[in-house]
A and B are shown apart, each in its own frame.
Chain A
Amino acid sequence: MSLFQGINTSASALTANRLRLDTIASNIAQAETTRANFVDGAWQPYRRKMVELSPQTNGTFDNFLQAAVGTVSGSQGGQGVKVTAIQEDNTPFKRVFDPSHPDADQDGYLLMPNVDPMKEMVDMISASRSYEANVTALNASKSMMLKALEIK
């Protein structure tokens, strides 16, 4: 039974949370971008992106070995988390009246990205707390492995 699996599990979560933070940073950075995609001769504003997470449960050799040897009964533990997709938020764009803007339509209305900075801040705090919790778990793995090495 390997403690390294614990480190890999925490590492997968650190990577996933880093990607979440990067996505949120991108959303905030593009909150005012009106020219993200050029579709049918018109500029489309930036669409908010979201990270889709799912548990990583595909069996590893270690899992199958342990099930066969019978060192664990019941369902096998997972191997962390993985990012399955980066999805786009399909909520409608904000419509702002700004006739002086170069991308405004004939009526003077301008489409702005569907990014809500408040929502992004909440998600950012959530992602950074998850990152911290997983760093704690990683440190625990490290100190447990060092303790095991002290058996002599």
Chain B
Amino acid sequence: MLDSYHLQVLERSLDAATLRHRTIANNLANIDTPQFKSQQVIFESFLQDELDARAGNGKLEAYRTNQRHIPFGNAGGVAVPQIVSNPNNFIQNSGNDVDLEAETTELAKNQIWYSGLTQLTAGHFQKLRSVIEGGGK
């Protein structure tokens, strides 16, 4: 339980949230920079693919005749966040495509998501603690 998969997922999600926050901060910092192109972080869909693959519902899975065969596809892989340029947005006269409203909304969403993740992580350790202490109090 100490090195459980849940903790790994939580850790990587926190990392992705941090990266997303940095990306949004960078977009906002360059809101008046001519020719600047905004970026966004894609992570949840990769994580979902990985979780599906672990549950045996992967999009691309090899037929295994023995459990000891190495799984094919992305099962057991590590979902890595990806920074891509922001699609479907408008471009201003200066060639800059930062959308202030969209970025601030993403910022707020990401902040709530991050605090939810920290609570889940804290809850994980709380459970561990109650196991160690035998639930005696």
Q: Do A and B come from one complex?
A: yes
Q: Give A contacts to B, CB under 8 Å.
A: 1-3, 5-6, 9-10, 12-13, 16-17, 20, 53-55, 70-81, 126-127, 129-130, 133-134, 136-138, 140-141, 143-144, 147-148, 150-152
Q: Knowing A55-B33, A136-B107 touch, does A10 contact B25 (C-beta < 8 A)? A: yes
* Smallest CB gap from A135: residue in B: B28
Q: Report yes or no: B28 in contact with A10, Cβ–Cβ below 8 A.
A: yes
Assess whether A72 is in contact with B26, with CB atoms less than 8 Å apart.
no
Q: Measuring CB to CB, which residues of chain B are less than 8 angstroms from any residue of chain A? A: 14-15, 17-19, 21-26, 28-34, 36, 39, 80-84, 100, 103-104, 107-108, 110-111, 114-115, 118, 121-122, 125
Cβ distance B89 to chain A, nearest Cβ, rounded Å: 16
What chain B residues lie within 8 Å of A140 (beta carbons)? Answer: 21, 107-108, 110-111
Residues of chain B within 8 A (CB-CB) of A77 are: 19, 22-23, 26, 39, 83
- Whether A134 contacts B29 by the Cβ 8 Å rule is yes
**A55 and B107: CB pair below 8 A?**
no
Whether A76 lies near B83 (C-beta < 8 A) is yes
Contacting residue for A141 out of B23, B25, B32, B108, CB 8 A: B25
